[in-house]
Structure 1
Amino acid sequence: MQKSPVSEEFALKQTAPKIAGSGVYTGGDKLVCAYDLVEQMEYLYVRVVKAKELPAKDVTGSCDPYIEVKLGNYKGITKHFEKKSNPEWNLVFAFAQDQLQASFVEVVVKDKDLVLDDFIGRVTFDLLDIPRRVPPDSPLASQWYKLEDKKGEKIKKGEVMLAIWKGTQADEAFPDAWHSDAAAVGSEGVSRIRGKVYLSPKLWYLRVNVIQCQDLIPSDKNRLPDICVKVVLGNQAHKTKISKSVNPTWNEDLVFVVAEPFEDPLVLTVEDRVGPNKDEILGRFLMLLHTVPRRLDNKPVQAKWHNLEKHSLLEGEKKEAKFSSKIHLRISLDGGYHVLDESTYYSSDYRPSSKLLWKSSIGLLELGIISATGLSLMKSKDGRGTTDAYCVAKYGPKWVRTRTIIDSVSPKWNEQYTWEVFDPCTVITIGVFDNGHLQGGGKDTSIGKVRIRLSTLETERVYTHSYPLIVLKPSGMKKMGEIHLAVRFSCTSYLNMLHKYTHPLLPKMHYVHPLSVSQLELLRFQAIQIVSERLGRAEPSLKKETVQYMLDLGSHIWSIRKAKANFFRIMNITAGIVQVAKWFDQICNWKNPITTILIHILFLILVLYPELIFPTLFLYLFFIGLWQYRWKPKHPPHMDVRLSHADAVGFDELDEEFDTFPTSKGSDIVRMRYDRLRSIGGRIQTVIGDLAMQGERFQSLLSWRDPRASALFVAFCFVAAVLLYVTPFQIVVMILGFYVLRHPKLRSKVPPVSTNFFKRLPARSDCML
């Protein structure tokens, strides 16, 4: 069947970059061959350290020195110092050798002037004489060079300390170097274009169990007070239900997300609702989070009574007075949970908050960000379109950002990064962005992103593909370019990795003390806000809009397109049942007499020998799994525009999907009804998506989309078939019956192995926009 032009345009393409691809994971963080997933790029490095005894050029008897490093048409400039004859720069310039058209490099020292800068001296190097450095060799030592005048003669005073060598992007100086393609960026903007590695803050769930209060003193003693407790932590606030008593009881759990290092204190206020939108504070309690006990298991923390403080304003001054009112609390930092900042299905990490509960890694993920082609023009500069692209990759708590390639729609990064892997059923996300902070206070604009599920990758194999960057805009679906990646997943022990499929997806606390769906949605929103705020403090900062795009902040908002896509996913699952029903109808109607006779014979055998039913079924599944192996996917799955219904979406549906929330499309009544409809629709959309996910997981058992899971299931079918052949059927039924009807004391709160295995199977959600 011939593919349509639309499918070809948005399809994944195999590439053949000039990479080594021969690194082998040997355990820990050691890799035999570094930078073997990207193309090797040759650079000329010039380290400008400092100068001394520079001659005066101004009438004041001083100089304002700076240095130009010139190599053909490329020129790098340091910042200048005011009236300083012994300046220090400590700056490295990197010139890509494939763009050079010169035979020598010139280092010129100049004096900054208002009209015309004065020449102080220079040093010239022939490119043929420059040495090559290959890590792990130690850095090349800097040397003092005497300056020459324009005639090539040594000047009496003035020296500059330099180091110059040839190397690749594996050089330690590469990340902090001022690259030749960024010559137009001033010295103040260099920090905004450098590649960096970031770490998300460690997140915890803070559980505040508000039990009761005693001896509250309301201002009006002639009425029964309406008491509630308000708990505030930073920009998070929760309230208990209202209790009508001076000794109220709640026993409510309020859960917050907090990040280390802890900054904001926990503030509790006991309030009396004395009127509409009017609360009177009866007492206040403050606690610093570093004093809160950390809980690693399901054992409850001991509850404590705390004195409440009464605050009143007298003559403009705050006075504090302790009195007998008390509050009974149980507060703990729950380290047994995994704090979600991503969607559960797209998550790149399932480990609990406490490092004491972490298991050893099972392998290593290596990502080579090679290049991009055909990127869309994202902004205007000097009357023409331009793009300043960089990539961000997120896996677990580690975020990486490549350097920004200035003014190019076909940037080449050739940067390689590694992550430790603790679970194969996780997803790495790679996003491409346009740097909007080089010309002022603009925002970084998203160009597109790619998700890769590790369980769909074969171990020790290098995948090199060109991924289309597909986005949905108010005008419709658009391809924003392609990104070329190289990915390898290596493991230390194949058996340990297969054993992971039998473990619970989330830590034990999620099943012993589960959080509600609404709680998880709110806590995830708070976690994203905390992560984006903390990463925004780095230099260069990872902007809020970038973090929120990578973490799919608005993925839960209602969309007719998503609801239709999930509906048709369910229809696709039920299509198999319909086909079986049609086939059985054909058998009943003798459409194929030979097949019908064979089914009759099989039916008689199974009736006479019922113990053959289950072994025959598992053996049938075993052979289907082996047969389907021939069509297992050859490359990782990617965004499917047809599955997402992005290629047939109408204008009205797009207008609704990109509408603000709450809507701005009409009067207040229409807005209220419309938002309510979208909220309900969002829940329906989620339920439909979950149903579709379960069905697709059944399909993936024998589809070899996750080769390890399919191998485990096929092996299980074979073993089950053999065991059921040799075991009397009555014993099997008796054991199953007793197991299903077992006493609650014999049941574990942790899901069984079959459930854990099933929840780790891949669905087609990875391929949806």
Structure 2
Amino acid sequence: MMQKPPQNVDFALKETSPKIGAGAIASDKLASTYDLVEQMQYLYVRVVKARDLPSKDVTGGCDPYVEVKLGNYKGITRHFEKKSNPEWNQVFAFSKDRIQASVLEVTVKDKDVVVDDLIGRMMFDLNDIPKRVPPDSPLAPQWYRLEDRHGNKVKNGELMLAVWMGTQADEAFSDAWHSDAATVGPDGVANIRSKVYLSPKLWYVRVNVIEAQDLIPNDKTRFPEPYVKVQLGNQLMRTRICPTKTINPMWNEDLVFVVAEPFEEPMILSLEDRIAPNKDDTLGRCVIPLQLVQRRLDHKPVNTRWFNLEKHVIVDGEKKETKFASRIHLRVCLEGGYHVLDESTHYSSDLRPTAKQLWKTNIGILEVGVLSAVGLSPMKSKDGRGTTDAYCVAKYGQKWVRTRTIVDCFTPKWNEQYTWEVFDPCTVITVGVFDNGHLNGGSGRDSRIGKVRIRLSTLETDRVYTHAYPLLVLHPSGVKKMGELQLAVRFTCSSLINMLHLYSHPLLPKMHYIHPLSVMQLDILRHQAIQIVSMRLNRAEPPLRKEIVEYMLDVDSHMWSMRRSKANFFRIMNVLGGLIAVGRWFDQICNWKNPITTVLIHILFIILVLYPELILPTIFLYLFLIGIWNYRWRPRHPPHMDTRLSHADACHPDELDEEFDTFPTSRPSDIVRTRYDRLRSIAGKVQTVVGDLATQGERFQSLLSWRDPRATTLFVTFCLIAAVVLYVTPFQVVGLLIGIYVLRHPRFRHKLPSVPLNFFRRLPARSDSML
């Protein structure tokens, strides 16, 4: 077998020992639900509202806001104009690790042009603040009378507050303003919060265009050349032009689209007449709302319907009227029996059909603790220095999660835990790390720092995996480590029998096998599905932007890459390496390199020939022993990115530049010409290999095709003689003679090829018929 050189140690997976589990949790109530992350204590301040605030402006009003200050950290609510009874309902969270004061100060101020006026304040001693641990009920806010600078109660003005000590398991954690994002203004807090998103439910829409009746062409002197155009959102598909020129055309073609719930746009169908190249005339159109379309969950047929086509007629140059133009016969349905491929099936996180009625019961729970990252690279420049505002995105099934953004930190600690239902163990969770490019007025793209994939079937059940995953990203200059992401992962199985039973089921829903889609259709539909998902998630708050979704779903995985081609070639060679090693070992046996081993093989061969019923049991027993022997060296950690396997660390710079080139290309013509010539050279070698494989197959076909009459005569005669001999000779004798001949001693061998090999190589192929 081909031995792969070891990966760079810096790029390898590292096991960690974070302080997680029940020993790090303050309460047993929390230990069973939030035990994959390190415990983090926070001081929470919920500013609810104020009432009866006094006027501070000359105009007789006030523009109030609240300032929450703890040591060097200060959080500010949004301000209201001319309002004495404002409502904020904002939460501030101060990490206990960064608290450097013993007093919490909450101040209500009136926003002014020059200097903000003090309305009132209140002070809290941290030693007197109560603690709260879920699932205890949230602490009820209270009214507090404001004080002046000297500690005296003011006549007017009260503030409703709730102050408590809690952990990251608190419900207020995700919506809070955090002290580690103190430089982010009130308007930017929404862009740093942790959120959970749900992918839209995707359906296939199948439109079977059957026929149309009684077309009325605008030009009465010619028969129409009709085709049907269907538009659904930004997806547009056409049937072929009807081959017969008639006013009752027939097509019977299927057009397949992707659509997401809720259905926002109708399907627009139009019947076009091809008058000339690039010139069409609309004969009629109809609008079909998807809410009225029948839903199909299995392979049962759907009823067809006739739809009226209408045509707009211009009257007096402006006014439009619609009139009946024709009828079209369609079979339209929303298909929920498929898994809509919004990601590559090689590492899909969800293999269920769209329709929830077809889902099976879940087999387990996946829990992921996003702990921290270390050694992150600076992603942008701020005030003349490098900085990174990092957050994580995890995707499994329909559920996406986003951690909060840790501002200006190369070693962020998130310590957030998330849970997913698992319906199939042969799925993959993807965790990506990104730099937030939309803070402090920024409007750039969120930069990718790296991502991690973990296949659930490689995890032992009920075991907590704590590892530091290298974040590897391929740049035009080569592979680069952007830091390490520390995760805690646990896959809990609810029923081992159900999970093992899944291994006998088809990977995809049965509609993929009963009514399979072509490879070209799947590529187009996958691209459309990714665009729909990215558009919907980009409309959330905070948005999961298009570049994030496309990176998580590997939108460019089908683009040509010299590096990937080499990597796949060596993957094949590594797989075939085992067969090559067996062939070399058998050749050594036949050439008596080790006489003792060869004699033992002779004895085993004779036993198996004399007792052929032992052949299959012996093979399976041998495989069982190999599996038991390999158990000692089973992987003890989840899979991770392998730079050697990807050929990312030994790639030519021009190949990397070609991989990162846009489509269509943006490089000068001389570089494109050089790359094209290189591609032709490599394609020529591939062409030769494919041709050689075709030649061997055609030689097998020519044994009985009489393409070479003499060779076929010899083979047919040999078959007749072999049939007679094998009828009268016991099979054990024949097998014994063949085996002894193959294993004969080298002194009885010749250097020249054997007679059967010579005969096979002389058989004709069809290569001499090619131009």
Calculate the TM-score normalised by the size of structure 2: 0.85
Moved more, 223-232 or 430-439: 223-232
CA drift of 1:542 comes to 0.8
Residue segments in structure 1 that go unaligned for 5+ positions in a row? 24-29, 689-728, 731-769
Secondary structure at 2:560's aligned position in 1?
coil
CA drift of 1:299 comes to 1.4
Query: Which residue does the alignment assign to 1:284?
Result: 285
Are 1:203 and 2:205 matched, yes or no? no
What is the letter of the counterpart of residue 163 of structure 2? I
Residues 251, 90 of structure 1: alpha-carbon distance in 2 compared, 3 angstrom cutoff: same
CA distance in 2, matches of 1:677, 1:252: 37
Secondary structure at 1:480's aligned position in 2?
strand
Are 1:617 and 2:619 matched, yes or no? yes
CA displacement 1:469-494 (0-9 Å, x = unmatched):
00101111100111000000001110
CA distance in 2, matches of 1:3, 1:219: 70
Query: Which residue does the alignment assign to 1:37?
Result: 36
Secondary structure at 2:94's aligned position in 1?
strand
CA drift of 1:610 comes to 1.1
Query: Which residue does the alignment assign to 1:142?
Result: 141
Residues 134, 31 of structure 1: alpha-carbon distance in 2 compared, 3 angstrom cutoff: closer
Query: Which residue does the alignment assign to 2:637?
Result: 635
Query: Which residue does the alignment assign to 1:89?
Result: 88
CA drift of 1:111 comes to 1.6
Are 1:316 and 2:297 matched, yes or no? no
CA displacement 1:89-111 (0-9 Å, x = unmatched):
11111000011111111111222
CA distance in 2, matches of 1:284, 1:237: 14
Matched ranges for 1:183-582 at <5 A:
183-243=182-242, 244-245=244-245, 246-317=247-318, 319-323=320-324, 325-438=326-439, 439-582=441-584
Query: Which residue does the alignment assign to 1:182?
Result: 181
8 Å Cα contact 2:313-2:323 kept in structure 1? no
CA distance in 2, matches of 1:347, 1:517: 17
What is the letter of the counterpart of residue 410 of structure 2? V
CA distance in 2, matches of 1:85, 1:284: 59
CA drift of 1:440 comes to 2.4
CA drift of 1:633 comes to 0.1
Matched ranges for 1:754-765 at <5 A:
none
Residues 465, 493 of structure 1: alpha-carbon distance in 2 compared, 3 angstrom cutoff: same
CA drift of 1:602 comes to 0.8
CA displacement 1:743-763 (0-9 Å, x = unmatched):
xxxxxxxxxxxxxxxxxxxxx
CA distance in 1, matches of 2:551, 2:203: 22
CA drift of 1:581 comes to 1.2
What is the letter of the counterpart of residue 505 of structure 2? H
Secondary structure at 1:511's aligned position in 2?
helix
CA drift of 1:313 comes to 2.6
8 Å Cα contact 2:283-2:325 kept in structure 1? no
Residues 604, 262 of structure 1: alpha-carbon distance in 2 compared, 3 angstrom cutoff: same
CA distance in 2, matches of 1:149, 1:310: 76
CA drift of 1:88 comes to 1.6
Secondary structure at 1:540's aligned position in 2?
coil
Aligned residues with identical type, % of pairs:
73
CA drift of 1:62 comes to 2.3
CA distance in 1, matches of 2:517, 2:113: 66
CA displacement 1:184-219 (0-9 Å, x = unmatched):
111111111101000011000000000111211222
Secondary structure at 2:619's aligned position in 1?
helix
What is the letter of the counterpart of residue 316 of structure 2? E
Moved more, 211-220 or 358-367: 211-220
8 Å Cα contact 1:661-1:675 kept in structure 2? no
What is the letter of the counterpart of residue 187 of structure 2? E
CA distance in 1, matches of 2:23, 2:270: 61
Query: Which residue does the alignment assign to 1:105?
Result: 104
CA distance in 1, matches of 2:561, 2:553: 18
Moved more, 476-485 or 180-189: 180-189
Q: Matched residue pairs, number?
A: 680
What is the letter of the counterpart of residue 13 of structure 2? L
CA distance in 2, matches of 1:664, 1:111: 56
8 Å Cα contact 1:662-1:671 kept in structure 2? no
Of structures 1 and 2, the larger Rg is shown by: 2
CA displacement 1:335-385 (0-9 Å, x = unmatched):
111101000111111111111111110000000000011111111112211
8 Å Cα contact 2:538-2:545 kept in structure 1? yes
CA displacement 1:119-172 (0-9 Å, x = unmatched):
222111111111101111111111111122222222222221111110100111
Secondary structure at 1:619's aligned position in 2?
helix
Quote the RMSD (CA, aligned, Å). Answer: 2.6
Moved more, 290-299 or 78-87: 78-87
CA distance in 2, matches of 1:21, 1:543: 37
Are 1:648 and 2:650 matched, yes or no? yes
CA drift of 1:677 comes to 6.6
8 Å Cα contact 1:198-1:400 kept in structure 2? yes
CA drift of 1:221 comes to 3.1
Secondary structure at 1:345's aligned position in 2?
helix
CA displacement 1:628-677 (0-9 Å, x = unmatched):
10000000111110000001001110111111111123459968995997
CA displacement 1:63-88 (0-9 Å, x = unmatched):
22211111111111112222222222
CA distance in 1, matches of 2:23, 2:129: 30
CA distance in 1, matches of 2:673, 2:280: 30
CA distance in 2, matches of 1:275, 1:423: 53
8 Å Cα contact 1:664-1:671 kept in structure 2? no
CA distance in 2, matches of 1:523, 1:3: 37
8 Å Cα contact 2:80-2:86 kept in structure 1? yes
Residues 151, 229 of structure 1: alpha-carbon distance in 2 compared, 3 angstrom cutoff: same
What is the letter of the counterpart of residue 41 of structure 1? M
CA distance in 1, matches of 2:4, 2:499: 37
CA distance in 1, matches of 2:433, 2:379: 12
8 Å Cα contact 1:21-1:462 kept in structure 2? no
CA drift of 1:112 comes to 1.3
What is the letter of the counterpart of residue 202 of structure 1? K
CA drift of 1:324 comes to 5.6
What is the letter of the counterpart of residue 307 of structure 2? H
CA drift of 1:254 comes to 0.2
Secondary structure at 1:90's aligned position in 2?
strand
Query: Which residue does the alignment assign to 1:128?
Result: 127
8 Å Cα contact 2:315-2:321 kept in structure 1? no
What is the letter of the counterpart of residue 217 of structure 1? I
Query: Which residue does the alignment assign to 2:718?
Result: none
CA distance in 2, matches of 1:670, 1:442: 30
Secondary structure at 1:189's aligned position in 2?
helix
Residues 323, 93 of structure 1: alpha-carbon distance in 2 compared, 3 angstrom cutoff: closer
Secondary structure at 2:17's aligned position in 1?
coil
CA distance in 1, matches of 2:321, 2:23: 69
Residues 625, 647 of structure 1: alpha-carbon distance in 2 compared, 3 angstrom cutoff: same
CA drift of 1:222 comes to 2.8
Moved more, 178-187 or 550-559: 178-187
CA drift of 1:294 comes to 0.5
8 Å Cα contact 2:311-2:325 kept in structure 1? no
CA distance in 1, matches of 2:500, 2:84: 66
Secondary structure at 2:513's aligned position in 1?
helix
CA drift of 1:240 comes to 0.5
CA distance in 1, matches of 2:115, 2:30: 52
Are 1:602 and 2:604 matched, yes or no? yes
